[in-house]
Chains A and B, each alone.
Chain A
Amino acid sequence: MKIHVKNGHLIDPANGIDAPRDLFIAAGRIAGIGAVPEGFSANRIIDASGLVVCPGLIDLSARLREPGFEYRATLESEMAAAVAGGVTSLACPPDTDPPLDEPGLVEMLKHRARHPNFAHVYPVGALTLGLAGERLTEMAELHEAGCVAFGQANTPVVDTQVLMRALQYAATFDFPVWLQAQDPYLGKGGVAHDGEVATRLGLPGIPVSAETIALATLMHLARDTGVRIHITRISGAAALEMIVAARAGGIKVSCDVSINHLHLSETDIGYFNPHAHLVPPLRAARDRDALRRGLAEGSINAVCSDHAPVDDDAKQVPFAEAEPGATGLELLLPLTLKWAVEMKLPLGRALARITCDAAGILGIEAGTLSVGATADVCIFDPRGSIKVSRETLKSQGKNTPFLGLEVPGRVRYTLLDGHMVFENGRP
C-alpha cells in the first residue's frame, strides 16, 4: 500500500518541521517528505488540506484492563479508542489482575495485542511480585518478554529497603523504573487534596507532603543506585520544583503529568463529582498552573492520558467509595491542544510532548516522521472539535471529568505501520 498524504501541514517536532509538506508512505514506512520519491505511485491519495499531519501519538499510561478486568474494558474496545484518538503507541501499567509480574502474562498481552488495527503496546512490568512491595520480579526475563520499564502503577513500595534493592537490581541492567511519588501513610484513607475543597466537603485529605516525601526518598535512592527513574503523574508544584532541583544535581530523572492534572484542580470536584476522584488527587489551582508551565518549559517531559476505564457501577457510589480513574485515550490530543492554545504555545512544541519526547522516555524508535521510520501517523483537523459524551467515546469507560465539554482537535485519519486504521472523513 502506497499512500500520498497531500496538501497537509506537516509537524514533526523531532525533525523541527512545521510547514506545508506532502508525506509519502510505502511498505509501512515513511518513504518521503515534500518531493515525490522516485518511482512512487500512490494507491491512495489523502487530501489533508487544512489538516495537520504529525507522528502517531504516544501515550505513556493507558490501562487496557486485560487481563482481569474485562468487564471494564477489553483490548478491542480500548484499541478502538486509541486509534480514534490518534494514539499509535502506548505504555500500559502493570496493575492488571494478575499484575504483569510474570513473563508469560506479558507474552500473552503482547500476543493478544498483535493485531494490524491495534496500537503498539509497550508493557510496563511489575517491579515487585504482585505489586506487593516484598519480592523482586524477574526483571530481565520480563524485559525479554517485552517490558520496556518497571513500575508499581498506583501501589507504592512501603518497605524502603525493598525499594532500594529493586532500584539497584533495575540499575544493574539499566532498566528504567517508573514510579509514582506517593507516601503510603500520609495519604492513608485520603481521597482528595488536603486543602480548602476537601475541608469544605468533609473529604479525607491527602497532603502535599505525601508526594514530596515519597519523591525525596526516590530522588535519594536514584542518586545512590544510579537507576534511570521516571516519575509518573506528578500532581503538585512542590514536586516539580524538587525534580528540577534533582536534575540540576545530576540525577537522571524524567517525569510526566496527566491530561486531567493539566486542566483541573480540586475545585472541579464540585458537588462530589466521582469522575474527579483521581490518583494522585487533583490539587490546588496554583499546582495545576505550575504543571502547565512546567510542561511548556520542558521540566515535565511528557503528558499522558492516564487512561483508566472504570465501569459505571464503580462510579455510582459516594465520592470516597468511587473507584479512582478517568478514561482518556481519546482526550490526549484534544486536551494537549487545549493546553497549547491556552498557553499560546506553537503547535509543534505541544505535539512534541505526546510524540518524540514521550518516545524518548519509552526508549522506542517512534514519534517521528523521519524517512525510513515506521509510518505511524495522525492526521487531525486543528480547527475541528469533539464533544465529549458517552455516545462519542469509543472506550468502554465513559468516566471522565470532561464529559459534556467541547474540546479542540478532531482526528481524521490514523495510520499504523502504513495502514489506515481509523478514518473519520466527515468534518
Chain B
Amino acid sequence: MRNPQLNKNGELQHLLTIDGLPREIITAVLDTAAPFTEVAEREVKKLPLLRGKSVFNLFFESSTRTRTTFEIAAKRLSADVINLNISTSSTSKGETLLDTVDNLSAMQADMFVVRHASSGAPFLISQHLDAMRQEHIHVINAGDGRHAHPTQGLLDMYTIRHYKKDFTKLTVAIVGDVLHSRVARSQINALTTLGVPEVRVIGPKTLLPADVEKLGVRVFHDMRAGLKDVDVVMMLRLQNERMQGALLPSSEEFFKYYGLTPDKLERARPDAIVMHPGPMNRGVEIDSAVADGPHAVILPQVTFGIAVRMAVMAMLAGN
C-alpha cells in the first residue's frame, strides 16, 4: 500500500501523519523552516511563495491557537486565508464532511488545513480529493482525534534540533496522557524516525494505550525513574474531562505523581529542555516554577511552530 501522503515520485502531497514519513522528508521540512524563522524579524514579514493561493482552515473542532498559527504561517507566505469553523455551521445543518469538501473545492481551494475530532478524517478527505481528481489540493492534518498532529510533531523536532543538535544521542521522555494524545503519537513517530535511541513514555496505566511499546518506546509508570538522565522532557496536556470518567481520581493526585515539578526535573540532565504543546494546565501537568523556569522552551516552540508550518505549506504548494 502506497503511503497516501506521498505522490508517485515520493514527494510530499499531503501532510497527514509522521508515521511512515521518510527521514529525508522530515529533515527537509526542518531545513526549509530554518530561514523562515528570520522572516518574523523583518519589517515586512512576507514571502511570496504562496501568492495567489487560497488556504482554507477547516476546523471541525474548535481551536484558537493552532488555527491562528496556521493563519499566520499562510499569510506570511502571502496566501489568502479563509477560516471555517465548521463545528458551528454546516455539519449542524446536516451537510456531510465530504459535501463540505466538495463545495470548498469548487471555490478553487489550493490547500485544506483540517482539524477534526475523528481519527483519520484528513485521510478520508485526501483520498476523496484524489478520487475526485482534485490532486492539486493539498491537505494538512492539523490534528485528528487521537491519531496525529504532524505539524506539532515537526515543530517539536525543530525545537529539539535547535537546542540539542544531534538526535542520535538523546534520551527523550513524553509524560502524561499518551492515550488520548495525537501530539504524543506524532512525537513518537518523529523521534524514532530521526534516530533517537531512547524514547520513553511516562504515565499511569489508564493513560497509556494498549501495546504502546510496539511504537518503539520504553514504558515507565514511575516518573522519577522515567526522567532519570533525560535530555528532553515533553509534557502533554491533560484535558479536564479526563477527570470525569474513571481514568484518574483527581487532578491533585495526578499532579503529585505525574506533574512536572522542579524536584522531579532534577532527575533529568542538568541541561535538559522542557517542552509543552500548549495550552498548559499549570498545577495539573506542570508546575509554574518549571513552566517559567530556565529549562522551559515552551514559547520558542510557538515561534518555531510558525516557521515549520510555513515550511510545510511551501513544500506542498510553494510557487
Contact = CB atoms under 8 A, between A and B. Distances in A.
Given A313-B96, A317-B97, A196 B120 contact: no
Interface in B1-25: 1, 4, 19
Interface in A295-325: 313, 316-321
A207 B210 contact: yes
A202 B144 CA distance: 9
Contact of A201 (B97, B128, B147, B210): B147
B209 A321 contact: no
B120 A271 contact: yes
B116 interface: yes
A52 to B, nearest CB: 34
B211 interface: yes
B214 interface: yes
A200 B119 contact: no
Interface of B: 1, 4, 19, 96-98, 116, 118-121, 123-124, 127-128, 144-148, 182, 185, 209-212, 214-215
Contact of B97 (A199, A270, A271, A318): A318
30 contacts: A195-B210, A196-B210, A196-B211, A198-B209, A198-B210, A199-B215, A200-B19, A200-B185, A200-B214, A200-B215, A201-B147, A202-B144, A203-B119, A203-B146, A204-B146, A205-B210, A270-B1, A271-B123, A272-B119, A272-B123, A316-B124, A316-B128, A317-B97, A317-B118, A317-B124, A318-B97, A318-B119, A318-B121, A318-B124, A318-B144
B219 to A, nearest CB: 12
A257 to B, nearest CB: 23
Contact of A205 (B1, B145, B209): B209
A372 B145 CA distance: 60
Question: Which of B119, B148, B185, B212 is most buried by chain A, counting CB atoms within 10 A of its CB?
Answer: B119
A330 interface: no
Interface of A: 194-196, 198-205, 207, 270-272, 313, 316-321
Nearest to B208: A199
Contact of A321 (B118, B182, B212, B215): B118
Contact of B214 (A196, A319, A320, A321): A196
B317 to A, nearest CB: 22
In the A-B complex, list the 7 residue pairs whose CB atoms are closest, starting with the nearest: A202-B146, A272-B120, A202-B147, A318-B118, A199-B209, A202-B119, A318-B121
B191 to A, nearest CB: 15
Contact of A202 (B145, B210, B214): B145
A271 B215 contact: no
Residue of A196, A198, A200, A313 with most partner-chain B CB within 10 A: A200
Contacts of B121: 318
Given A316-B98, A318-B97, A318-B120, A199 B147 contact: no
Contacts of B4: 271
B1 A320 contact: no
A202 B185 contact: yes
B124 A272 contact: yes
A317 B1 CA distance: 21
Contacts of A317: 96-97, 118, 124
Given A195-B211, A199-B209, A199-B210, 18 more contacts: A195-B210, A198-B209, A198-B210, A199-B215, A202-B119, A202-B144, A202-B148, A203-B120, A271-B4, A271-B123, A313-B96, A316-B96, A317-B97, A318-B97, A318-B118, A319-B119, A320-B145, A321-B118
Contacts of B215: 199-200
Contacts of B148: 202
Contacts of A271: 1, 4, 120, 123, 127
A200 B120 CA distance: 11
B118 A199 contact: no
A201 B119 contact: yes
Nearest to B189: A200
Contacts of B96: 313, 316-317
A131 to B, nearest CB: 27
Contact of A319 (B19, B118, B185, B212): B118
Nearest to B116: A318
B3 to A, nearest CB: 9
Contacts of B1: 270-271
Contacts of B211: 195-196, 199
A377 B220 CA distance: 61
A272 B146 CA distance: 13
B179 to A, nearest CB: 9
A320 B146 CA distance: 11
Most chain B CB atoms below 10 A, which of A198, A205, A272 = A272
